[in-house]
Amino acid sequence: MMLIACPHCGPRAHVEFAYGRTLDAVLPLDALPDAAARILYQRDNPRGLSLELWRHTFGCRSWLRVTRHTVTHEISEVIAWPPTPAPEAP
Amino acid sequence: MTRFSALGLLRAGLTGQKRWPRHWRDPEPAKAYDVVIIGGGGHGLATAYYLAKVHGVTSVAVLEKAWIGGGNTGRNTTIVRSNYRQPQLQRLLEFSLKTWETLSDDLNYNVMFSQRGAVFLGHSDADMTRLAERGDALRCAGIDAELMSRQEVGRLAPCLDLSPTARFPIHGGLIQKRGGTARHDAVAWGYARAADALGVDVIQNCEMTGFLMDGERVAGVKTSRGDIGAGRVGICVAGNSGVVAGLAGLKLPIESHLLQAFVSEPVKPMLDTVIMSQSIHAYISQSDKGEMVVGGDPDHYPTYSQRGSPHRIEDVAAQAISLIPAMSRLRMLRAWAGTTDMSFDGSPIIGPTPLDGLYLNGGWCYGGFKATPGSGRLYAHLLATGESHDIAAPFSLDRFARGATIDEAGAGPAPQDR
């Protein structure tokens, strides 16, 4: 069991959270087919530190960026994601 | 290789079991081989065996960083079946199941393959419709499937909770009578022994640390016991495919997750078939030692830790008890986890990589054990000829970029949601 320190709610058990994807797997809406296939399907799958997006599904429902070790499960950083408020749509 | 026989067993019994020879050699790695297989699990050892047996390629080494069969081969729930829905998977797993049926004779090693049947339970009208559709599709493909009523399920497995007020009421089931279980360690040992007898070097405690390149071509591997040249190199390390392929600079459509399984204390026979439910994702069987073997969902986040979270133990125990109430009286003996090579469509990858001389067999998600013999035969074909076998061709690595994924669950590129 991991303890994830949500920047909004404080430390909570990881069962409150859902793993979303790794940071390099975020698909820009304007990606061309080659880039889209690469982002959708190719992973570093690191055995070590990994930058991941988790969602506090059963809490504040915010997306978080979690820096986590995939062997020890040690979490070195949790920050709100995206880091600054997204600009308003025109 | 001393052949095992009933007479030999009797003789050994009368002479104090002292004359059993070792099952395979412990060779030093040679300078080069025609084929080097990275990974001494069931799939790698099977590949080596069929390379020698079917294709006559005997200059083969299987490199294992620890001991053979110590990874996912020794960490599964040993279920064997071929009742999939996608035609490509049906062909692959049925090919494998047919090989299971003659495997013990072929290897002269008892892999304890027990065709005790594998039942999918249906918990609602919608489930039963889905199972009937799957059964029809299977029978059209020449794979056995029989729809069962609630009463028939009850006669087969009286320990199930058949009451209409059950948490997951049982409306019926779909059985594949040729499905069942096998003894996982024996599969690794049997293949290692038979491959060794044909001249294959099974090299344990030999960790692969990098690739030897000849220009753009993979020409061998660096290992903890020196460099080894190879005509062709086959990756067969499901769970760590991304790590090994990463040493060649490749990124794969694979994420490593974990799946836990559990056994109870051993009890007298109470379940002589395999019970599965895809609606709640539980699978239960009883080992020949009497332990109840139970598995459930993966933990749903990337990890190489080989140890799971306690909340999943609670989930799986709750599912098992809801199906078989008597299990609430059993104590859990062990829990363990394997690293699952989660591919992005839920299907395995068998094929060439973008690098000349390097081949990949991985991405088996949580369903690799049942495919061991078939995977070995198809991968041996690829490593011997350089061409994919018909059955393996749809499982090539480039299918993702081409949009030709084989997605049994229809879940899209989401390895964590399977």
Q: Which residues pair with B122 in a beta bridge?
A: B172
The residue to which tokens 């190879």 are assigned: B230
pLDDT > 80? residue B117? yes
Q: What is the pLDDT of residue B302?
A: 95
Please check the confidence at residue A51 and state whether its pLDDT lies above 70. Answer: yes
- pLDDT, mean of residues B240-245: 97
DSSP string, B287-315: -TTSEEEEEEEE-SS----S---HHHHHH
Domain map of chain A by residue range? 3-80
Is A86 a residue whose pLDDT tops 80? no
Instruction: Give residue B280's Cα distance to chain centre.
Output: 21
Average pLDDT over residues B259-280: 95
Query: Would you call B138 helix, strand, or coil by DSSP?
Result: helix
Which residues on adjacent β-strands are paired with residue B257? Answer: B340
Q: Please tell me the distance from the alpha carbon of residue A85 to that of residue B133, in angstroms, as a whole number.
A: 49
Q: Which CATH superfamily is A3-80 part of? A: Folate-binding superfamily (3.30.2270.10)
pLDDT tens profile B145-175:
999 999 999 999 999 999 999 999 999 999 9
Q: Residue A43 and residue B303: Cβ atoms within 8 Å?
A: no
- The C-alpha of B30 sits at a distance from chain A's nearest C-alpha, in angstroms, of 30
Contacts of A22 in chain B (CB under 8 A): 255, 302
- At residue B102, what are phi and psi to the nearest 5 degrees? -115, 10
pLDDT at residue B2 is higher than 90: no
B66 part of contact set with chain A, CB < 8 Å:
no
Q: How far apart are alpha carbons B80 and A25 in whole angstroms?
A: 34
Q: Which residue has the tokens 């133990």?
A: B313
**Residue range B379-401: mean pLDDT, rounded:** 97
Three-state DSSP at A35 gives helix
Nearest residue to B69 via CA among B198, B180, B258, B202:
B202
* E strand intervals along B329-398: 332-343, 349-352, 358-362
Best A45, A50, A53 residue to mutate vs chain B (most B CBs within 10 Å): A45
Domains and CATH numbers, chain B: 25-82+85-108+184-253+345-417 (3.50.50.60), 118-178+255-343 (3.30.9.10)
- How open is the CA angle B21-B36-B58, to the nearest 5 degrees? 55
A47 lies within 8 A of chain B by CB = yes
Residue A85, pLDDT score: 66
Q: Are B116 and B273 in contact (CB under 8 A)?
A: yes
Give the minimum alpha-carbon distance from B343 to chain A in angstroms, rounded to a whole number: 9
Mean pLDDT of B213-235: 97
Question: For the whole model, what pTM was predicted?
Answer: 0.95
What is the predicted pLDDT for the residue at B237?
97
Q: What is the mean pLDDT of residues B286-299?
A: 94
Q: Do B401 and A41 touch (CB under 8 A)?
A: yes
In angstroms, the separation between the Cα of residue B233 and the nearest Cα of chain A is: 21
**What is the rounded CA–CA span in Å between residue B349 and residue B343?**
8
What is residue B414's predicted lDDT score, i.e. its pLDDT?
83
Which has the higher per-residue pLDDT, B414 or B59? B59
In the structure, what pLDDT confidence band is assigned to residue A88 with cuts at 50, 70 and 90?
confident
- pLDDT band for B412, please (50, 70, 90 cuts): confident
The pLDDT of residue A82: 87
pLDDT at residue B394 greater than cutoff 70: yes
Confidence tier at B276 by pLDDT (50, 70, 90): very high
CB contact under 8 A, B309 and A15: yes
Length of chain B: 418
The reply to whether B251 touches chain A by the CB within 8 Å rule is yes
Q: What is the pLDDT of residue A83?
A: 80
Q: Does B347 touch chain A (CB under 8 A)?
A: no
Q: From the CA of B206, how many Å to the nearest CA of chain A?
A: 19
By the 8 A CB rule, do B81 and B75 touch? Answer: no
The pLDDT score that the predictor gives to residue B61 is 98
- pLDDT, position A90: 66
Q: List CB contacts (< 8 A) between B207 and chain A.
A: none
3-state SS, B179-220, equals CEECCHHHHHHHHHHHHHHCCCEEECCCCEEEEEEECCEEEE
Report chain B's mean pLDDT, rounded to a whole number: 96
